[in-house]
Structure 1
Amino acid sequence: MGSQLVHLISLSEKHPDPAMRRALEQCLLDLRLTVDSMDAQDESLAVLLARYRHRLQPVLERQGMSLHWDVWDPEVLGESGCLPRGTMAREIMAVVQEAISNVLQHAQAHEVWISLAATAQTDTSSVFVHACLSIEDDGKGLAQTVGQETGTESFTGMGLLNMRRRAHAIGGKLEIQPRIGGGTKITITW
């Protein structure tokens, strides 16, 4: 399947259709991420994010987008606590993937920011550190993209609703808001 997608992408270079090429690249990225996730049953969020960056960076570059990456990992820094692993990490990654998919398909963005930072809140009853992960873009913004007011659930498709469900499933919170300077900011905290 992957080789067929690569072949279709090369054919699209001979007969340029930017929308088709973006769709094919998105399919190939999704396929690669699916294959990556087969081996990632108990890996930490930091490892999953690093693997995702490796797959995402070339796609963004081909589309003329810049990726700004600022991901904190307490284990690498020798700090106490650890980032989520297993099911919780995979649910967070599904939110990230859906957010980036929306950027690639709808935002007409030039820049994307992915950042992960510890929150000031501490809770000794949790195995995992509390953190905030944000995905931002400088695109046309969510309300303009779907022609609706932000904050409503009447958007076309199920992506935003699924992101909210995933955040809720891990006991987290998802916020979707306009980004200062234009675009959209999606934040998941746990």
Structure 2
Amino acid sequence: LLAAIGWLIAGDYARAQQGLAQMNQQLADRVQQKEAELRESFVRLADLERARAVAAERARILRDMHDGVGTHLTSAIRQLQSGLAAPGAVEQTLRDSLDQLKLSIDALTMEEGDVAGLLGGLRFRLAPRLEAAGLALHWQVDQLPAWPEGRTEAMRHVQYIVFEAISNVLQHSGATAIAIRATHEAASETTPAGVIVLRVQDNGRGCPAPSERNGLRGMRTRARAIHADLVVGPYGDGTSGCEVMLRLPLTPPPLALSAR
């Protein structure tokens, strides 16, 4: 009797072990299947994210082309249609359009946060025009820290603002010299990590009158978009010359608190 009971118990144990092994195998198969499904989902999500990034970059490039190249081409067409514009003025507008196109291409490979490199690219593109216009270039770009907010779109905003400031000197100032300076100012209560300060200065006839400052609207809009301060005012003794100053805080802006 004891042998029979032992045999029954052993049989039940063997069957239980077999059932447990089958359950473990089924569970392992399901886990493996779910892991494969998760990997496929991650791959699809990564593909979608890359597609979104590409679409966003294309949209940004098209927007830059419209705001920069398109605006200058439209201005050139209007100048020609009016019959009143001097050939030199139309030429300057077309050159601005071409430079904007080249800078849009440069923006594709700009290193994020490298403001000194951005300025170097502008110098490379615009130095021949400055020389051809008889403008002596004074260049002072100190060693600058990386700009924490300097992602691709923010760098493009800075590039546009500095380009527009230089273009205004070329077209409207009557200057014989232009200075481009970049410094790192020490920390303060409002900027605990300091600030990068960019200056475009000329010795021309002075800053334009408020009624002639339509071009500054886009510069101010872009400065606000990157939480930077843009100041336009007299340079030198205040009777001649103009300075465009852009301040880039190295401390990220505080997050807005949700309304209670």
TM-score range, shorter chain: 0.7 to 0.9
Q: 1:156 to 1:131 in 2, by over 3 A?
A: closer
Greater Rg over alpha carbons, structure: 2
Equivalent of residue 141 in structure 1, options 206, 215, 236? 206
Quote the offset at 1:24 in angstroms: 3.0
TM-score by length of structure 1 reads 0.72
Determine the structure 1 residue equivalent to 2:70: none
What is the total number of aligned residue pairs between the two structures?
A: 159
Confirm whether residue 37 of structure 1 aligns to residue 107 of structure 2: yes
Quote the offset at 1:22 in angstroms: 2.5
Secondary structure of 1:70 counterpart: strand
Determine the structure 2 residue equivalent to 1:93: 159
Partner Cα distance (1:131, 1:184) in 2? 20
1:4-39 CA distance string (max 9 Å, x none): xxxxxxxxxxxx943333233222222211221122
Higher RCO (C-alpha 8 Å, min separation 6): 1
Q: Residue type matched to 1:175 in 2?
A: V
Partner Cα distance (1:173, 1:167) in 2? 6
Quote the offset at 1:135 in angstroms: 0.5
Confirm whether residue 18 of structure 1 aligns to residue 18 of structure 2: no
Q: Residue type matched to 1:27 in 2?
A: S
Q: 1:185 to 1:42 in 2, by over 3 A?
A: same
> Which structure has the highest helix share of the two?
2
Determine the structure 1 residue equivalent to 2:196: 131
Equivalent of residue 82 in structure 1, options 118, 121, 146? 146
CA RMSD, Structure 1 to Structure 2 (Å) = 2.6
Quote the offset at 1:102 in angstroms: 1.1
Quote the offset at 1:41 in angstroms: 6.3
Partner Cα distance (2:112, 2:231) in 1? 26
TM-score by length of structure 2 reads 0.54
Task: Structure 1: state its 5+ residue gaps.
Answer: 1-15, 75-80
Determine the structure 1 residue equivalent to 2:126: 56
Partner Cα distance (1:175, 1:26) in 2? 23
Secondary structure of 1:57 counterpart: helix
Percent identity between matched residues is 32
Does the aligned pair in 2 maintain the 1:136–1:186 contact within 8 Å?
yes
Confirm whether residue 173 of structure 1 aligns to residue 237 of structure 2: no
Does the aligned pair in 1 maintain the 2:174–2:204 contact within 8 Å?
yes
